[in-house]
Amino acid sequence: MRTYKPKDEITPFIKEIIFLEDRDNSKVSLPFYADGYPGIMYSETAKPICLLPENKLLPNFFLYGQTIEPIQLQIFGGYKIIVFQLYPFATRLLIKEDPKNLNDTCYDLNLIEGVSTKTTTEKLIGQETERKIHVISDYILSLVKNCSADPDNSIKLAISTLINSKGVISIKQLREQLFITERTFERKFMKEIGVTPKQFAKIIQFSFSLNQIKESDYTKLTNIAYDNGFTDQSHFIKTFKKYTGRTPKEILAQL
């Protein structure tokens, strides 16, 4: 896996660019878990990627929404995948769709009006990775220009605060910082992000704990649980099973 920084023109919408490649011709399954970030994915594969457990064949260029349930991408043969990881509020701004309708699913970018997705995919054929990233970056910039909507600054601030607190800040405290009522906050958050503030906070908390399991040399899961604001190990395990279908120990055994 390699990562790239986005061009300055699209940094308000793009967190990171990720490139995945495998030249092995065997069948592989890539697990994806909730992390709070939607994304735009372009793939080059011998056969269409299959989304599990839906058993749905994916287009080679699409936008995916919030991942809540654990999914897998089943790929037959070698592959090259480029993912533009979006900030949580970017979905509605780029494609003018209700983010809630994109939870755990994807949107074929060929359906967008006002921007030629076909022209972009034709430009991508046969190009080196860096050139592909440049072409997709220009495409995203054209989506920005095609959309007249503006981000809700209060929700952008809420998202930033939730991520910086690793999802641990209370929603009540967050609302008080923003001087916003509970009903208005819930409505705005759902409109911009597609999940409730509480759901998003739990996703961020889980995501930080998962990353810590992957990257640290912790031997006690209780340390990770407390480091990430879980009240106890039982709560930690319950949350993990909700978002991965597995216990933390089972995830560790796969690494």
54-58, 115-119, 126-130, 146-150, range with the lowest pLDDT: 146-150
The pLDDT of residue 147 = 82
pLDDT score at 216: 67
From the number of C-beta atoms within 10 Å of its C-beta (0-12, 13-18, 19+), residue 114 rates as: exposed
**What is the average pLDDT score of the chain?**
92
Task: Write the pLDDT tens digit of every residue in 68-95.
Answer: 999 999 998 899 999 999 999 999 999 9
Sheet holding 71-76, edge to edge: 27-32, 71-76, 50-52, 56-57
Residue range 200-251, pLDDT digits in tens: 999 999 999 999 888 766 567 888 888 888 988 889 999 999 999 998 888 8
Asked whether residue 148 carries a pLDDT value surpassing 80, the answer given is no
What would the pLDDT profile of 24-57 be if each residue is shown by its tens digit? 878 888 999 999 999 999 999 988 999 999 999 9
- Distance CA(246)–CA(31), nearest Å, equals 12
According to CATH, what is the number of the domain 153-254?
1.10.10.60
Place of tokens 């983010």: 99
Instruction: Mean pLDDT check: name the lowest of 57-66, 173-182, 186-195, 208-217.
Output: 208-217
pLDDT on residue 218: 59
pLDDT above 90 for 162: yes
Q: How confident is the model at residue 179 (pLDDT cuts 50, 70, 90)?
A: very high
- Per the listing, tokens 């090259």 go with 80
Query: What residue spans define the domains of the chain?
Result: 2-146, 153-254
pLDDT at site 41: 97
pLDDT of residue 217: 63
Measuring CA to CA, which residue among 103, 106, 105 is closest to residue 63?
106
Q: Is 146 exposed, middle or buried (0-12, 13-18, 19+ CB in 10 A)?
A: middle
- Helix/strand/coil for 75: strand
* Alpha-carbon gap, residue 2 to 19, rounded angstroms: 5
Asked if 31 and 74 touch (Cβ cutoff 8 Å), the reply is no
Task: Answer yes or no: is pLDDT of 254 > 80.
Answer: no
**For the ranges 108-112, 188-192, 216-220, 226-230, the one whose mean pLDDT is highest:** 188-192
CATH architecture of 2-146: Sandwich (2.60)
Q: Quick one: pLDDT at residue 232?
A: 86
Backbone phi and psi for residue 133, each to the nearest 5 degrees, phi listed first: -60, -40
